[in-house]
Structure 1
Amino acid sequence: MRKPELAAAIAEETGLSKNKAQEVLNAVTDQISAALAKNEPVSLPGFGNFNIRERSARTGRNPQTGASIKIPASRSVGFKAGKPLREAVN
């Protein structure tokens, strides 16, 4: 399911217009992004938790040449599904 399909499903379930549902969906994703940018975890009970994961700098290898390369430290977004979501999938 893509974002427009999700917005259409929200509109159908809530009785909102498709445009209004798209605005709501955009607002939710913007707020999640803003919180994660501030290094704040986001918890959606029954769905899951988003958090920032730190990756330390490390040495890797170029698969074509075999040369060592330095991979800088970075941050990435992690997601852990909540129990109801895990049960729904299984």
Structure 2
Amino acid sequence: MAQKPMTKTQLVAALAEKMDADKKAATTALDAIVAVITDEVSAGGAVTLPGVGKIMCRERPERMVRNPATGEQFKKEADKVVKMTIAKALKDSVNE
């Protein structure tokens, strides 16, 4: 059975424990990290989280797509998507 993902509250509690700090400091640290990643990726850059992976913004070209309900094909405009490449160290730690 699959586990539920860790919530922000659980993440803050675990982070506070690892940092030997209170939950308020852990929340501030987590919010700051998220803000830095968001700013950098939305500006078209990339952020590498050592041991976790690389988060980047990638542009997708204009393309033809199909509506699965009707089978109708139409042109989808170019857009941007956020991609994450997982670090080898994390992949290896999961498969141990």
TM-score (normalizing by structure 1) = 0.90
Point out 4+ residue stretches in structure 1 off by more than 3 angstroms: none
Q: Which residue of 1 aligns with 2:3?
A: none
Distance 2:88 2:65 in 1: 36
Q: Which residue of 1 aligns with 2:41?
A: 36
Render the CA deviation track for 1:29-88: whole Å, top value 9, x for unaligned.
110010011111111222211111111111111122222222111111111111211111
Alignment of 1:15-54 (within 5 A): 15-54=20-59
Q: Which residue of 2 aligns with 1:81?
A: 86
2:34 is aligned with what amino acid?
Answer: T
Distance 2:10 2:37 in 1: 20
Please report how far the alpha carbon of residue 14 of structure 1 lies from its aligned counterpart in structure 2 after TM superposition: 1.3
Matched, 1:12 2:21: no
State the percentage of identical aligned residues: 37
Distance 1:72 1:57 in 2: 5
Calculate the aligned-residue CA RMSD, in Å: 1.2
Alignment gaps of 5+ in structure 2: 1-5
TM-score (normalizing by structure 2) = 0.85
- How many residues are treated as equivalent by the alignment? 90
Q: Which residue of 2 aligns with 1:56?
A: 61
